[in-house]
Amino acid sequence: MKITLNPFRILFAVDKLLLKVETFLLLLTVITLLVFAFLQVVLRNVFDSGIHWADVFNRLLVLWIGIFAATIAAKENRHLSLEVLTKFLPEKAKPIIGIFINLFVIVVAAFLTKASMQFFQDQLLYEANDLLFENVPKAYFSIIFPIGFALICFRYFVKLLEDIYKFAGGDRAYPKKSGDAVDISVKIKMK
């Protein structure tokens, strides 16, 4: 029995798994934010006290929520787009425009990933003593920026492959069924 691994199927499976993990982490982050915000209100208004680091922690959680929402929006194709251009183009040209847009976003997201990784490293170096609670530096929470931009880069890479597949003659986003296979190299035709 010969087992062949389809790299496209593996890539799309990883993308699907990442979406589930991101959705879970987004939900967990929102719940944590709500719990700490509610706890702060109760402690301040009822007991005239509070957790001294909770406000900063909540602000950091809002950043995490924004990044997770952006990566999920990239997966679900809900980012801002200019549809004025695509409304006047023929259907056959739309995948070509999609390919160029995806390439542009991949390049920008790759630069932002690199820059945010440098930002994270600088924060660890220069703000290591700025502690949030116990011995946890606030700088650790900025790791979400390089992770988020890397995920957006990955998402648009997957979209790029889907648009190439559409341009090559596929009629829908790949993969919808487990039996689908793609061979981009022989299917590309100029019409």
Higher pLDDT, 67 or 77: 67
Rounded mean pLDDT of 18-41?
94
Q: Is the pLDDT of residue 155 over 60?
A: yes
Would you list the domain boundaries of the chain? 7-187
Q: Would you tell me how many other CB atoms lie within 10 Å of the CB of residue 6?
A: 13
**Dist. CA 66–CA 37, nearest whole Å:** 17
Which distant-in-sequence residues (6+ apart) come within 8 Å of 187 by Cβ? 168, 169, 170
pLDDT score of 177: 45
Amino acid present at 114: K
pLDDT score of 190: 42
Q: Is the pLDDT of residue 191 over 80?
A: no
- The pTM is what? 0.79
Rounded mean pLDDT of 79-104?
76
Look at the block and give the residue holding tokens 């976003």: 105
Higher pLDDT, 183 or 102: 102
**Dist. CA 125–CA 141, nearest whole Å:** 14
Rounded mean pLDDT of 108-133?
89
Q: Is the pLDDT of residue 75 over 80?
A: yes
Give the rounded distance of the alpha carbon of 134 from its chain centre: 30
Element (H, E) at 165: helix 144-167
Q: Is the pLDDT of residue 108 over 80?
A: yes
- List pLDDT tens digits, range 129-144: 788 777 788 888 889 9
Q: Is the pLDDT of residue 183 over 80?
A: no
